[in-house]
Each structure stands twice: as C-alpha cells, then as structure tokens.
Amino acid sequence: MLAFIARRRAPLQLLPAFALTAGVFAAAMLLLFSYSAFTFRGGQLTEEVSFLAWQKFFTDPFYFGVVTKTLQLALEVTAAALLIGYPTAYALTKVRSAKFLVAAYIIIFSPLLVSLVVRVYGWLLLLSDNGVINQALLAIGVIAAPIRLIYNETGVVIALVHILLPFMVFPILSVLLQFDHALREAASDLGANRLQTFLRVVLPMSLPGVVAGCQIVFTLAISAFVTPELLGGGKVQVLSRAIWFNVVDVNWPLAAVEAIVLLALALAALALFDLAARSLRAMRPTGSPRPRRDSPGGFIDAFLRIVLFAVLAFVLSPLVFVVINSFNGSAFNSFPPQGFSMQWYQFVLGYAQFREGMVNSLIIASASTLVAVAAGMLAALALTRGGIRGRGILNAFFLSPLVMPRVAIGIAVFILLIRLRVLGTTGSLVLVHAMLSLPFALVLLTASLVNVNRTLEEASMDLGAGPLRTFWSVTLPQIRAGLVVAAVFAFITSFDETEASIFLVRPSNTTLPIQMFLYLEQYQNPTLAALSTLLIAATIILVVVALRFVRGAELARLVARR
Amino acid sequence: MSADAARASDVIELREVTRSFGDVVAVDHVSLGIRQGEFFALLGPSGCGKTTTLRIMAGFERPSGGDIYLRGRRVNDVPPYRRETNLVFQQLALFPHMDVYDNVAFGLRVKRRPAADIAGSVRRVLQLVDLAGYERRRMHELSGGQQQRVAIARALVNEPAVLLLDEPLGALDLKLRLQMQRELKAMQRRSGTTFVYVTHDQGEALAMADRVAVMQLGKIAQLGAPEHIYSRPATRFVAHFIGDTNIIPVTVRDRGADGAAILDANGVRFAATDADMRPGEMRHISLRPEKIRIAAAHAARPDGHGGTVTDVTFLGPLTRYEVSVAEGLRLVVQTQTDSEEHFRKDDRVSLSWPPSAAVVLKD
Ligand SMILES: Nc1ncnc2c1ncn2[C@@H]1O[C@H](COP(=O)(O)OP(=O)(O)O)[C@@H](O)[C@H]1O
Ligand SMILES: [Mg+2]
C-alpha cells in the first residue's frame, strides 16, 4: 500500500532533488562548457566564439607543467596515504577493546569533522620554521638550522595525507572487517604460516578496498585547492590554483578550460580505478562470514599497535597544537608558547568579520541542511520504493556533484550566478550548498531505508494507520540514526565549504571558513588558533549530541560487525 | 618406549583432554583413540563440544588440560600449519579469489612442492571427487555439492594422516545430503584416509561411520559401532538421541532361574536379560518401538500385556500407535503398515516383546 502510493507519487517526490541537481549543478556545468569557447583578449572578456583558450592551454608548455605537477602531487599523496592507511586499517581490525575501538574510529575520522582551514592552520603551526617540529629538533640538537617543511611540496603532501587518510582507511577497513576468519584458518590448516596467509589470502582479498581507497584519495587530491594554496607558498603550481588566478584575472574562458581539464582528469582517474576494480576477480565468499575465534599475539601485533598509536598521534597533533597555541602569550605562533594569554579569544569575539561570517555560516548551513535532507528524504523514498525505471541513471545523476572537483563546480556556478545576477546572495549560497550536500544525504538515507523492516509498516497499516501516519510512527523511528548522520554530514559539508564558495561570496557577505582563509593569507598570529579551538569545541558538542541519537543503533552495529 | 607413547594402532589419541572457555567447559576429560583408516563420527546435540574437540585435533584450540597425540607424537603445542591433519570447514571456507585448481593446489604450493608434482596430485584428487574438468571454475560458479567436493579435495590432496570434517553437509538440502553421504563414504574407502566426522544428525552418523562417539555436555556418553549404540544404548540420553524409544522407570523384583531379571513398571511385569542388578533397585530401561509386537486382545500371547490404543499416526511405510498399558505407563509401538493387523483408537490390544529387547540403562 505504501509502495503503491509511493509509486504514484514518485515523480513528484523526485522533483526537489532533481531541480537542485539539474538547476544548479547541470546548468552551471553546461554554461562552463560554453564559456570555454569564448574569447579573452586584451584583458577583456567577449562572447565571441574562438577556442583561443583551448589553443593556449594545449600549446603553452606552462600548462603542461601544471597538469604534470597536479598528477604527480596526487600520486605522491595517494601512495603515502596507502602506505599509512593499510597498516592502520589492519591494526584497527585487531583492536579488542570496544571502547578503544570507538575512540580510535572517532580520532581517525575527526579530520573530516574539523574545518579544512583549521587543519591547514594546524600544519602551519607544526611545520613552520619556528614551529613545533623544527623547534623540537633544534632543541635536541639534531639540526643546526630549521629545515623547510612548508611553502614547498613536502608540507602540502603531509597535510593532504592527513586530510585524506580517512578516505583510505575506511574502504580498506570495511573490506577487512567483512573478511571471513575461517579463510585464515583454512590457510593455516593447509600449511600456510602467518606471512603466507597474509600475502596469499588476506592481501589479495582486500585489494578491492585498496582500489576504492586509492580512487577516492586520488580524485580528491588532484582537485585540492586550499591546502596547496596556503601551504605551498606559491611553489606548488597545480590546476586548482591556476583556475583561481584566472578567475581573479577575469580570464574565464581559460579558467573554464582548466576546470574542464581537471574534470576530465578526475573522470579518467575514476574510470581507470573502476577498470582495476573490475579486473579483480569476483570475490563472493561461499559461506557467511564467521568472526575470529583465536587470539594470536606476537611481535607483528605489537608492531601494528605501534603503527596505530603513531597514526593516531599524527592525526591528532595539528588539532592539539592549535588548541595549545590559542593560549599563546606571543603574537608570532612561537613554540614553545611564551606565557599564557586569553587575548586571542577576546580579539576573535570582538572581530566583526568573524562574527558576521559565523552568523552567515550558521544561517546558510542550517537552511541548506534542511533543504538537502528534505529533498534527499523524498528522493530516497522514491528511489527505494517507487518502482521507478532508470533508477540507476537517476541515482548517478544525483551523485554526480561528488565526482566533480569543488574548484570546477565553484567557477561554473560562479558564472551561472553572475548571469542570473544573484551572485553573493544568501539564498544562492543556500541552494549551492544544498546541492553539494544532497549526494551525502541521499546515500545515507537510501541505505537506512533499505534496512527498514517492511513487515512492520505492513503491520501498522493492517492496524489502521494511513501511509503518512505509518511513515511518521513506524518508518521514521527505524531510520532515525541515518537521518541524524545525514543531517550532521550536510551541516558540516556546508559549514566547512571553502573551495567552491570562495568563488561565490562577496566581501560584504562571506562565510566563516572563507574569512579564516583570507585572514590566514594575510596574518600569522594565534587569533585563528582561538577561533579554531572554539570551532573544535562546537564540533565535539555536535558529535556528542549526535552520538546520543545514534548510539543504540549505528554505533553498536559498527562494533558488533566485528 | 617412553610413557608418552600412544597405542601404535591409533592415528589420533586424546588423553583426558579438557577445554574451558571461562566458566564453560566445552570439552570435559575426553579420552578416545581413532584407528588407522576408520570412519569415526563424533555425534551430539548442538553445543555439546564436537567442534571444539575437532578444532583441538586440527590445532586451532589448545587443550586446557590433557594431551593429544598424532601418530604417537604429542602435538599439544604444534600449530595447525605444521600438523598432518586437514579440516573441512563447516562453512567450507573456500578462497573466493581463486579458482578450483588454485584452491586445491594451495596447500601443496605453500609447502613448495614442484609445480609438476602439484599438477599431478591435483588432477588425481579432482578425479577422486569427480570434479575433473572444473579446474578453472570459480567458487560462485559451482553448486553447493560441487563446492563441498572442492573443500574435500583441497584437504585430501595434502594426504593428511586424518581428515577432519565439521558438519560438512549441514548446508545442503536433504536429497543432496543423502547423495553426498554415499559419495563421502565411497571417497573415504577409495582414498583409505582416516575420517573424523562431526555431526548432530544421528542418521548420518549411523549410516556412514565405522564407530561413533556420542557426546553430551563435553563428555563422551558412549563409544562403539553404530549397531551396538543403537541396540545397546548405555544411558537415557543416548537411547533418546539415537532413534525413537520408550524410556520406562522400573523396579527390580526378582532374578529368574535363567539369570534374567524380573522388572516391574507400574504393576506390569516382564523379564530383561541384562544382568548386574540387585532386587529392590530402581532403574530405567529402553524399549525400541519396533521391537514391540502388537496383537488383538483375543489373540493375546501368554506373556502379552493388555492395553488400549489411545492414538494412531500413519507414517507411510510405518504406523505408530500409542498404547496405554497401565496407569501411568503408555508405550509407543511401531509396525510395518502393510504386514500387520490394523487397529483403531480405543481398540483393546495385547503387547509383547522378547527379554533381550529391554535394555537396562546405566542411569
Ligand atoms: N571461542 C569460544 N569462546 C567461548 N565459548 C565457546 C567458544 N567456542 C565454543 N564455546 C562454547 O563451548 C561449547 C561447545 O561449543 P562447540 O564445540 O562449538 O559445540 P558443537 O560443535 O557441539 O555445537 C558451547 O557452549 C559454546 O558456546
Ligand atoms: Mg559445531
């Protein structure tokens, strides 16, 4: 009955999500393509079709260098993330204490919850010449003069690995957690020792997770903008920065060409990794997985434990030093801190730009969360129960903003909003952020809806509750956890959005992360540390409150899965 | 020989083996020897400790007490990958990222056998399990029965001293299970390998095994040939678990001239050949339903016990009657549907059985 009603209303339910994705995202991308053919001459943009921008991009060796640098950086980041991420995921599967496991999960995924600019700022504190690492090395006499860790590629790679590590750990971990322990025992029974078992059985079977992790990390790394911009010191010339400078120069055709090339690179990388995933043999287990029964020990486990603690320290350290520095008495981010002071907090609270940015960000994040979750809920209902044809294509369409580099979306939407004469308005930012959050909401809500026990809904209707009543009192309670997680994800996505929004704001109407980005480009003092500490505290409160809602369901399932 | 040496004819010997998990004693002072070339079944209800016993033999569990010998050598501390045993897992545990050939060759490869030898061994064992020509199939391209045979081939190819099987047919449907029972038995005969077979299905154990050990709460309740266990169960648990039976509480009244005991069940008196009872003692006997003869009251034999039919169930080839013989004594009787007389509810009948049919139980 519910399915029947859903079927009749399915097209209507899809409308909000479709309008958001087509009206904002698809329209902007089409406009981007057309602008790449326009002409920029003598500092002027004209709508004359010439393909000069394409010609310049493919003949000027400078741009070839930019593309190679972009790919090289992404490769380095992916390799480093894999090297750290695999042992981390493996070590997590060995953790026996449920409490420690939950703590480790939260720490490893915490970079996703903390503003991008805050994380970059933390790495500035750690890596700069008078930063923690150099000062510590100088103090123990390992080096005589500070070594350059930022304003070059090293710093950019370190910070990107830090930011992208969860995307590597999570897919590998989920494959390893589903690993049937009986297979390990079977290998042992057939004469394989622990190393042979790992190399011949565990590693090959976890390759799908490795490929998925590399795919996400590589795709996100080629389009990173804030990190190379702030930590590269102008020396790490990647495509995203070229786009940014061309937009500032009003050379939109060239920026459009660069965005399209970036998009093509991202799609090519996705396709290549997909090919790799498909070439891996089908790995359907023959039985249902059995949890592990024995408890091997030994030095391998000791080694894994050390790796895990080192990674947790790596993930936490930038945030920890941000908090420490916020109480620094000196104005130069010096380490160790010189005296204790609350002056930076006073400054933050009195700084009008931050206050306005904060208010704007809260309004935009709340409104866009509401829009994204509502549109996502309706679309998820239609997609899971509507019996719609072409569900796969629709789903791919709704998820497509995920694979587009944020910088490319930024320039495309920028052109669209200029044409519509709404650039910089709060409403436009709400819709853009809702469009960016919609894929997350849709994925999470669809996953929850698939798990809903349909018999309960039928029982409810059998007892006389109508479809709306049934949805409200039977379906909704079952997907509460998914709903909360979707809302938190959407809120954080919007609140933290920098790389697209930086094209879309007006100086008079800016969001908080962009105020922070602009501040960081100009000043180097602990003001940002104080602001970041406040944001971290707010995030912790948000997560704790969210966990209260999710606890019983999702968290227990997460731990019980092992 | 040292005191440690096990009996030469036993491939595996457990001596007083115990395994506890916290408060749960999964295996409780189990001693048993498994002979070269036999088909040995470990039978018992779910949770009685069969899997744990098997995993101790395979090396996945360490005994908390007692010793285990493999071909006369104490192997308590030998890890699974250095034991001459192989296990066919309950859930098969076939490697999904390998094809049939690679699965079967796995054990020989990790032991670094020359490739040519491996090819020969794999070919022979695939022939033995009737899977020649399936080398390049992947696991999800095989039926349940075929996957089963791959799991057995993967273990057998290593020529283990003992092949351990943990409810290997549990996941199959009834028809395939009966067919695989016959095939397994045939494979065991052809390869001459010693099999230790864990199952909770008494029919399976009786049909396949040379000897059966019935387990209850971590202990061995009875060990012997299937016919022996069926016809002379030692305890109420074994008698109940193996087939249908009447358990009757009795008092020993007297000893007859031929040495048989005269028993009394609620006033119904009959003889039992089983000795070793003192008059006045209270015991239980097991009386199999198919050992009881049922006749019309007017055709009663002199040793017959009169009764009334209270329930009739038609089971196809067999018919099952419940007969009330005395106050509080109701016996189940089973007859061939086509060979005997038929009775209806409330018919007066007479029941009789030979003294050898009443098996006196230990508890
Ligand atoms: N790893 C373990 N941890 C705790 N208890 C266990 C473990 N393995 C088995 N047990 C317990 O030991 C008893 C026997 O289990 P098992 O040998 O699997 O029985 P069976 O195979 O006869 O069904 C059960 O009560 C079971 O719960
Ligand atoms: Mg078992």
Question: What pLDDT, in 10s, does the model give residues A427-485?
Answer: 999 999 999 999 999 988 998 888 887 777 777 777 777 788 888 888 888 888 889 88
Q: Which residue of B has its CA nearest to A205?
A: B97
Taking a C-beta distance cutoff of 8 angstroms, is the pair B213, B41 a contact? yes
**CA neighbor of A513 nearest in space, from A219, A256, A225:** A225
Tokens linked to A361: 């960000």
B3 belongs to a structural domain: no
pLDDT at B310: 95
Q: What is the mean pLDDT of residues A57-84?
A: 96
B152 belongs to a structural domain: yes
In the reported structure, the alpha carbon of residue A132 is separated from the centroid of ligand 2 by a whole-number distance in angstroms of: 57
B92 belongs to a structural domain: yes
| Domain end call among B218, B240, B262 | B240
The DSSP symbol for A502 reads G
Tokens linked to A117: 């600019």
Domain count, chain B: 2
Q: Measuring CA to CA, how many Å separate A54 from each of A247, A407, A415?
A: 16, 19, 18
pLDDT at residue B2 is higher than 50: no
The domain defined by A50-325 folds into MetI-like fold (1.10.3720)
Q: What sign results for the dihedral spanned by CA atoms A93, A97, A98, A100?
A: negative
pLDDT at A130: 82
B1 belongs to a structural domain: no
The number of CA neighbours under 13 Å toward the Cβ of B127 is 8
Taking a C-beta distance cutoff of 8 angstroms, is the pair B258, B272 a contact? no
Write down the domain spans for chain A.
1-29+344-562, 50-325
Beta partners for residue A420, in sequence order: none
Considering only residues A406 and A293, tell me which one the structure prediction assigns the higher pLDDT.
A406
Which of B90, B96, B107 is closest, CB to CB, to A190?
B107
**DSSP 3-state assignment of A141?**
coil
Q: Which residue of B has its CA nearest to A290?
A: B91
Q: What is the mean pLDDT of residues B163-188?
A: 88
Residues of B in contact with A178 (CB under 8 A): none
Rounded CA-CA distance A319/A536 in Å is 8
pLDDT at residue A558 is higher than 50: no
| Most informative mutation of B24, B61, B220 for ligand 1 (most atoms within 8 A of CB) | B24
**CA neighbor of A133 nearest in space, from A310, A314, A341:** A314
**Mean pLDDT lowest among A225-234, A312-321, A552-561:** A552-561
Q: What is the mean pLDDT of residues A328-352?
A: 83
Same domain, B65 and B106: yes
Considering only residues A476 and B324, tell me which one the structure prediction assigns the higher pLDDT.
B324
For chain B, the three-class secondary structure string (H helix, E strand, C coil) is CCCCCCCCCEEEEEEEEEEEECCEEEEEEEEEEEECCCEEEEECCCCCCHHHHHHHHHCCCCCCEEEEEECCEECCCCCHHHCCEEEEECCECCCCCCEHHHHHHHHHHHCCCCHHHHHHHHHHHHHHCCCCCCCCCEHHHCCHHHHHHHHHHHHHCCCCCEEEEECCCCCCCHHHHHHHHHHHHHHHHHHCCEEEEEECCHHHHHHHCCEEEEEECCEEEEEECHHHHHHCCCCHHHHHHCCCCEEEEEEEEEECCCCCEEEEECCEEEEECCCCCCCCCEEEEEECHHHCEEEEHHHCCCCCEEEEEEEEEECCCEEEEEEEEECCEEEEEEEECCCCCCCCCCCEEEEECCHHHCEECCC
Same domain, B55 and B102: yes
**CA neighbor of B196 nearest in space, from B32, B83, B48:** B32
Q: Which ligand is nearest to the CA of B64?
A: 1
Same domain, B146 and B54: yes
In the reported structure, the alpha carbon of residue B54 is separated from the centroid of ligand 2 by a whole-number distance in angstroms of: 9
Rounded CA-CA distance B95/A502 in Å is 50
Q: What is the mean pLDDT of residues A219-235?
A: 91
Q: What is the pLDDT of residues A298-315, one digit of tens each?
A: 677 888 889 999 999 999
The DSSP symbol for A506 reads B
In the reported structure, the alpha carbon of residue A294 is separated from the centroid of ligand 1 by a whole-number distance in angstroms of: 12
pLDDT at A560: 40
pLDDT at B217: 96
| Domain end call among B194, B212, B240 | B240
Same domain, B163 and B111: yes
Rounded CA-CA distance B323/B70 in Å is 52
ipTM: 0.73
Considering only residues A462 and B185, tell me which one the structure prediction assigns the higher pLDDT.
B185
> What CATH number is associated with residue B233?
3.40.50.300
pLDDT at B1: 39
For chain A, the average pLDDT equals 87
Domain that holds residue B188: 10-240
B4 belongs to a structural domain: no
What percentage of residues in chain A have a pLDDT greater than 70? 93
Q: What is the pLDDT of residues A9-66, one digit of tens each?
A: 778 899 999 999 999 999 999 999 999 999 988 888 888 888 899 999 999 999 999 9
pLDDT at A562: 31
Q: What sign results for the dihedral spanned by CA atoms B304, B309, B311, B315?
A: positive
In the reported structure, the alpha carbon of residue B10 is separated from the centroid of ligand 1 by a whole-number distance in angstroms of: 26
Peptide bond between residue A439 and the one before it cis (omega within 30 degrees of 0): no
Q: Which atom of ligand 1 is nearest to the CA of B46?
A: 23
Same domain, B203 and B268: no
- Tell me the range of A40-49, A87-96, A157-166, B171-180 where mean pLDDT is highest: A157-166
Confidence of residue A554 (pLDDT cuts 50, 70, 90): low
Q: What is the mean pLDDT of residues B90-115?
A: 90
Same domain, B266 and B211: no
Q: What sign results for the dihedral spanned by CA atoms A289, A294, A300, A305?
A: positive
Q: What is the pLDDT of residues A94-103, one digit of tens each?
A: 888 888 888 8
Same domain, B158 and B197: yes
Rounded CA-CA distance B21/A97 in Å is 18
pLDDT at residue B110 is higher than 50: yes
Q: What sign results for the dihedral spanned by CA atoms A20, A25, A31, A34?
A: negative
Rounded CA-CA distance B352/B304 in Å is 5
Confidence of residue A297 (pLDDT cuts 50, 70, 90): low
In the reported structure, the alpha carbon of residue B166 is separated from the centroid of ligand 1 by a whole-number distance in angstroms of: 13
Q: What angle do CA A250, A361, A479 make, to 5 degrees?
A: 120
pLDDT at A296: 52
| Domain end call among B198, B219, B240 | B240
Q: Which residue of A has its CA nearest to B142?
A: A286
Rounded CA-CA distance A306/B100 in Å is 39
CATH for A1-29+344-562? 1.10.3720.10
Residues of A in contact with B138 (CB under 8 A): 281-282
Cβ atoms within 10 Å, residue A395: 18
Do B91 and A287 count as a contact with CB atoms less than 8 A apart? yes
Instruction: Tokens 């040519």: give the residue.
Output: B116
Residues of B in contact with A282 (CB under 8 A): 96, 138, 140
Do A287 and B93 count as a contact with CB atoms less than 8 A apart? yes
pLDDT at A561: 37
Same domain, B206 and B290: no
Q: Which atom of ligand 1 is nearest to the CA of B44?
A: 22
pLDDT at residue A553 is higher than 60: no
pLDDT at residue A157 is higher than 90: yes
Closest CA to ligand 1's atom 11: B26
Same domain, B233 and B292: no
Q: What is the mean pLDDT of residues A332-355?
A: 85
Identical fold at A1-29+344-562 and A50-325? yes
B272 belongs to a structural domain: yes
Confidence of residue A150 (pLDDT cuts 50, 70, 90): confident
Taking a C-beta distance cutoff of 8 angstroms, is the pair B156, B107 a contact? no
Same domain, B298 and B228: no
Which of B80, B95, B107 is closest, CB to CB, to A201?
B95
**CA neighbor of A180 nearest in space, from A537, A561, A553:** A561
Same domain, B50 and B122: yes
B50 belongs to a structural domain: yes
Q: Phi and psi at residue B29, in whole multiples of 5°? A: 45, 60
Ligand 1 binding pocket, CB closer than 6 Å: A 293; B 21, 24, 26, 44, 46-52
* CA A208 centroid distance within chain: 20
> What CATH number is associated with residue B266?
2.40.50.100
Confidence of residue B258 (pLDDT cuts 50, 70, 90): confident
Closest CA to ligand 1's atom 24: B47
pLDDT at B8: 59
